[in-house]
């Protein structure tokens, strides 16, 4: 009898049930999409922000140590202030090597322009930075290409990029305007001639510098194999309190958890392990911006999901209130025949549960497809909604349906059977 009453309810009130089911489906679809995007967005946001530039920098541990007495820097000038270029392939041997998007060594050198450009104050000097542009390296059995074209994809070059085996250079835009240089012109630096391959535009301090293949800077500095720093672009997860813990104080499983999490701090720690006499630090501005952007986007998506659930609950409340009002005669008859509040309430809650399960399942499927499309449109990558979310989404659909129909069911349980059957209520 109970099952027949539930069946007849769906058969006789198809429009009301469809309206409530559609509200649940839409609310669950939006919620599934937003939760799916929020839980899978971290790596994709990190990849997008890697277009801004490197987020880690590696320097010599000796270079990082400044000893000053009376304002005079007493740090000794020795080879300890430089890193060894031969150690760069070791970066691809660390635990989080697959999270390393790219890296670029940097070796700044102060050079003098041609005597013909000298003034009363002597030959003008400029800063030339040796680096990789798109250098092919090998680490074990793996070949990879890295350089500033990977770590700084927003750099714009008018002309062409220098080849890493050439003596061509890039000139920053503002510096090129001062020197009146354009692509294919020649520049004399410290008595040697170099060709301008392109004009670099970054809207930053790089526009005042020159960039050359790393061997050129090493030759000008008379330090073969040297580099002052390495800029590393790595995919990381935003920092939390655990990420900021000192690894030297961690032991056992706690240390393993910290070491095996792709925090900027743990990747920096591993960079120090593979590059001798080095000190790795995160570029705070980039790391902090990444965390802020991610938390705000996730917060916005969760707010949209909450709004969708509230809207679904209100729609269900409206549909159920009308449906129960139409069935007041049925409820009054059940009460007159001896049905208690539990039986009447169980009937409506069973109907709600069936609506929630069907609407929630359809909404989960639609939301999964919606999240996939959002990922394709925004990040050009599919966003995967984990199947483990399915039972939680169904539970959420049931709770929303119960919340929307609670007031209507409570009102139905208070119907006076005598007044209802006489038509007074």
Average pLDDT of 103-109?
95
Q: Tell me the per-residue pLDDT of 242-258, one tens digit each, with 9 for 90 and over.
A: 888 888 899 999 999 99
Task: Let me know the angle formed at the C-alpha of 126 by 185 and 200, rounded to the nearest 5 degrees.
Answer: 55
Give the Cα separation of 202 and 157 in Å (integer): 9
Residue 264 pLDDT greater than 60, yes or no = yes
Q: How far apart are CA 88 and CA 274, in angstroms?
A: 9
Predicted pLDDT at 17: 76
Please say if the pLDDT value at position 220 is more than 50: yes
Residue 394 clears pLDDT 50, i.e. is over it: yes
pLDDT band with cut points at 50, 70 and 90 for residue 199: very high
In the chain, the largest separation of any two C-alpha atoms, in whole Å, equals 113
Contacts of 234 by beta carbon, 8 Å cutoff, 6+ apart: 55, 56, 96, 99, 100, 101, 262, 264, 267
What does the pLDDT read at residue 386? Answer: 82
pLDDT at residue 177, rounded to an integer: 92
pLDDT above 70 for 123: no
Q: Please tell me which of 4-18, 92-106, 116-130, 380-394 the model is most confident about, judged by mean pLDDT.
A: 92-106
Average pLDDT, the chain: 81
Structure confidence at residue 267 as a pLDDT band (50, 70, 90): very high
Token digits of residue 62: 């000796």
Tokens 């030759």 locate to: 219
Do residues 105 and 229 make contact, with C-beta atoms less than 8 angstroms apart? yes
**Does 244 or 324 have the greater pLDDT score?**
244
pLDDT bin (cut points 50, 70, 90) of residue 408 is confident
Residue 153, pLDDT above cutoff 70: yes
> 230 falls in which pLDDT band (50, 70, 90)?
very high
In this prediction, residue 414 carries a pLDDT of: 62
Confidence of residue 94 (pLDDT cuts 50, 70, 90): very high
Q: What is the pLDDT of residue 73?
A: 44
Q: Lowest mean pLDDT: which of 58-72, 115-129, 208-222, 400-414? A: 58-72
- Summarize the confidence of residues 217-221 as an average pLDDT: 94
Closest CA to 212 of 165, 280, 144: 165
Residue range 298-312: mean pLDDT, rounded: 86
pLDDT band at residue 341 under the 50/70/90 scheme:
low
pLDDT digits (tens, 9 = 90+) for 2-16: 566 555 566 666 777
Q: Quick one: residue 42, left, alpha or beta (phi over 0 = left, psi -120 to 50 = alpha)?
A: alpha
Distance CA 333, CA 321 (A): 19
- Percent residues over pLDDT 70 in the chain: 75
Q: 149: which residues sit within 8 A by CB, 6+ positions away? A: 133, 134, 155, 161
The β-bridge relationship of strands 210-213 and 125-131 is parallel
Would you say residue 272 has pLDDT above 90? yes
Using pLDDT thresholds of 50, 70 and 90, give the confidence band for residue 231. very high
**Torsion angles phi and psi, residue 70, rounded to 5:** 65, 30
pLDDT at 273 over 60: yes
pLDDT band for position 74 (cuts 50, 70, 90): very low
């Amino acid at each position: 009898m109970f099952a027949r009453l539930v069946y007849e309810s769906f058969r006789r009130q198809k429009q009301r049930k469809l309206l409530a089911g559609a509200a649940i489906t839409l609310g669950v679809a939006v919620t599934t999409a937003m939760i799916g995007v929020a839980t899978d967005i971290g790596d994709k946001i990190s990849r997008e922000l890697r277009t801004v530039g490197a987020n880690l920098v590696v320097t010599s541990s000796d270079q990082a140590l400044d000893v000053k007495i009376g304002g005079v820097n007493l740090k000794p000038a020795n080879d300890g202030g430089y890193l060894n270029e031969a150690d760069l392939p070791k970066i691809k041997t660390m635990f989080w090597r697959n999270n390393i998007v790219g890296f670029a060594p940097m070796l700044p050198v102060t050079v003098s322009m041609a005597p013909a450009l000298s003034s009363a104050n002597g030959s003008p000097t400029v800063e030339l930075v040796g680096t990789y542009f798109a250098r092919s390296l090998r680490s074990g059995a793996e070949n990879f290409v890295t350089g500033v074209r990977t770590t700084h994809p927003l750099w714009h070059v008018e002309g062409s990029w220098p080849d890493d085996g050439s003596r061509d250079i890039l000139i920053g835009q503002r510096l090129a305007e001062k020197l009146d240089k354009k692509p294919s012109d020649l520049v004399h630096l410290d008595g040697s001639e170099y060709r301008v391959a392109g004009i670099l535009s970054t809207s930053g301090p790089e526009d005042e510098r020159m960039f050359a293949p790393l061997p050129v800077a090493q030759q000008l500095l008379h330090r073969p194999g040297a580099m002052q720093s390495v800029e590393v672009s790595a995919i990381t997860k935003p920092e939390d309190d655990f990420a900021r813990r000192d690894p030297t104080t961690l032991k056992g499983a706690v240390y393993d958890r910290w070491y095996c999490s792709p925090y900027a701090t743990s990747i920096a720690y591993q960079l120090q392990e593979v590059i001798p006499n080095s000190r790795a630090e995160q570029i705070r501005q980039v790391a902090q911006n990444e965390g802020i952007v991610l938390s705000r986007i996730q917060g916005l998506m969760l707010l949209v999901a909450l709004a969708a659930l509230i809207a679904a609950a209100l729609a269900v409340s409206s549909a159920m209130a009308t449906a129960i009002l139409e069935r007041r005669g049925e409820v009054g008859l059940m009460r007159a025949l001896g049905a208690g509040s539990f039986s009447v309430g169980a009937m409506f809650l069973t109907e709600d549960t069936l609506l929630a399960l069907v609407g929630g399942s359809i909404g989960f499927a639609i939301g999964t497809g919606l999240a996939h499309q959002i990922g394709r449109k925004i990040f050009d990558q599919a966003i995967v909604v984990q199947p483990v979310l399915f039972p939680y989404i169904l539970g959420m659909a049931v709770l929303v349906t119960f919340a929307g129909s609670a007031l209507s069911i409570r009102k139905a349980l208070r119907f006076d059977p005598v007044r209802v059957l006489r038509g007074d209520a």
